[in-house]
Amino acid sequence: MINSHLIDHMVNRRDAFKTVAGLGASALAMSALPGIASANTIVGSSDVIDFSDPAQNLRSWARVLGHLDPEVETPSWFGGHLFAVIGNQPLRKLVGVEGFGMLRVQPQENGAYRLFNRELAYYTDPQTNEILDIWRNPLIDEDVKVNPIHNMIVNAEVAAIQKMDMDGTIIEQPFNPPWWVWNDSAFSLFELHAAFPNPMTVEEWPRESAGPINRTSEMFQRMSPLAELEDLEKPSVDYVGTWTRIGPWLPWMLMGQAEGHLFYRTFMKKLDSIDEIPSALRARAEVDFPDYFEAPGLDTWGQPNNSSFGVYMSEREPAPPKAE
């Protein structure tokens, strides 16, 4: 999956980028360069792939993420839980999350890859796994209306050498997230760390906004069969992995500027078809969001990306003050 919050902020602030320094998430326009995980960290080796070479690294990563034929759409699943992190208190499990993405990869003549992504996820009861429409927020003792993640377009372009315009200074940064090769498995890590202005101002959204700055970290760990990866004619490579996220309170939780933040811990898996999406998740999505079973078409390139913050602001009004 691609994290829409970070990509959306980067693309909208700097139209010239049209690239990401990373995925499943990625961010640029922030207070510092994105914290791409441990560049040049290669543990173990492959007789076929030189992961320290940005072009080979990127091609391997694109094959793991999706399929090099732009006519082929790649579904992926993720599921896990969200925890509240408040001061020195133990982490508190709040809700579950389960969703899927649909990805299309288009190789470019210059060696870059365009990624066309659509993502959908529901928040769930952590005990029953049932999809939540109304949630009793135990942190404020109030029922809140739950907003699922539904981003129609989350597109990005990734190049072996990223060129980033940082206030008039062009910085070149190679695409070289780390890999670990161990026996018959290859492990890839992709992570980014960003802090950027919150589009939801405290003045207009006092109960939804976590404050003037959104600090977000995304960490994706994927494990793939080494034999598949070293078969260079194979356009798609399987993976299982984890997605970890640190981010602000979600707007629909109505936490305002309360101390603390959210920690996400999920599993994720590349799927062969949408038939592998869990039945309850698929049934609900077919009713609510039937268009989300297809990846964005190539004609969507250049259109504005969606983000959960932007979607929320377009669909909801600021919540009234909490009743005494």
Q: What are the CA-CA distances from residue 169 to residues 19, 99, 166 (Å)?
A: 16, 39, 5
At residue 72, what is the residue type? V
Give the pLDDT score at 167: 58
The list of the chain residues with pLDDT below 50 reads 5-38
Checking 174-177 for CB contacts under 8 A at 24+ apart, the result is: 174/39, 174/54, 175/21, 175/54, 175/57, 175/58, 175/61, 176/36, 176/39, 176/40, 176/51, 176/52, 176/54, 176/57, 177/22, 177/36, 177/37, 177/38, 177/39, 177/57, 177/61
Q: What are the CA-CA distances from residue 127 to residues 82, 243, 284 (Å)?
A: 13, 21, 19
Domain boundaries, the chain: 4-301
Q: Per-residue pLDDT tens for 78-125?
A: 999 999 999 999 999 999 999 999 999 999 999 999 999 999 999 999
Phi, psi dihedral angles at 164 (to 5 degrees):
-120, 130
Give the pLDDT score at 324: 73
Give the pLDDT score at 174: 87
- Only one residue has tokens 């994927």, namely 222
Give the pLDDT score at 41: 72
Tokens coding 31? 């207070």
Give the pLDDT score at 20: 36
Helix (H, G, I), strand (E, B) or coil at 265: strand
Report the residue count for the chain: 324
Give the pLDDT score at 32: 32
Give the pLDDT score at 176: 86
Phi, psi dihedral angles at 208 (to 5 degrees):
-95, -30
